[in-house]
Copies of this chain bind each other. A is one copy, B any other.
């Protein structure tokens, strides 16, 4: 319970940061600002920016220095959701109970709002890095985020996920999707946070392992919840994977074995994060939360 309160507080903190960095809704191009801010304000757990902050914190870095990175990461996550929801992609009308971006602003403006958020994410990270002494460290941190979000990361995973719809695929390909679609960005966020905190190579490896494992476990739990989950808690119907003949962890290796793999991943994640000398309680609880969540 204490963890859930803690998570709420941290999410609220990220909400505040986002508000500070949202473009002012004024000027000729006002509509794009409104479209960006609409989706940025749509809630969510803000897991990626929290992980970035916590990564810097456990290393002993200056958390304030990471703030623009947290904001940028949530902008990148938000752009990916806006484009995912487009009619050309998943064609979703609602997200978190609100009409999707293109339902409010139209397909063209939603496409541009996504583009705008991706570009603005880099603009913020770069601008806030000008004139600082650790330019080399900052370039590395921004690069980690770009890589996690790109064709050898999130976009790469997204492409293979789309192409695998209604198809049965082998486990190796499913692991590729999980690794790239979700884990890569989490790795990028946490490595960026740790790099900004001047992590040593050992700590960076442990952070990377933690990030990778919780990312992979998150996806496996997603697959499991589509079978055993509670529709009310999830806020969406279960069983859609089976209906769509989607290859998932349970369909490929069975439900029990899937649970075991997820449990092992989380155990390893916690072992890794405990090796770092900083306070690891929150990140350990977060790992447990990922596997015990019901939505």
Contact = CB atoms under 8 A, between A and B. Distances in A.
Interface of A: 23, 27-29, 31-33, 36, 79, 83, 86-89, 102, 106-112, 114-116, 118-120, 122-123, 126-127, 129-131, 135-136, 138-140, 142-143, 146-147, 149-151, 155-160, 162-163, 173, 176, 180
Given A138-B139, A139-B130, A143-B130, A120 B159 contact: no
B31 A159 contact: yes
Contacts of A88: 86-88, 102, 106-108, 110-111
B29 A151 contact: yes
21 contacts: A28-B156, A28-B160, A29-B157, A29-B160, A31-B159, A32-B156, A86-B111, A88-B88, A88-B106, A88-B107, A89-B108, A89-B111, A109-B159, A112-B162, A114-B115, A118-B118, A120-B151, A122-B146, A123-B146, A123-B150, A126-B142
A79 B116 CA distance: 12
Given A87-B107, A135-B135, 14 more contacts: A23-B151, A29-B151, A29-B180, A31-B163, A33-B151, A79-B115, A86-B111, A111-B111, A112-B155, A115-B118, A116-B151, A119-B151, A122-B122, A127-B143
A90 B212 CA distance: 40
A130 B140 contact: yes
Contacts of A118: 115, 118-119
A116 B150 contact: yes
Nearest to A156: B29
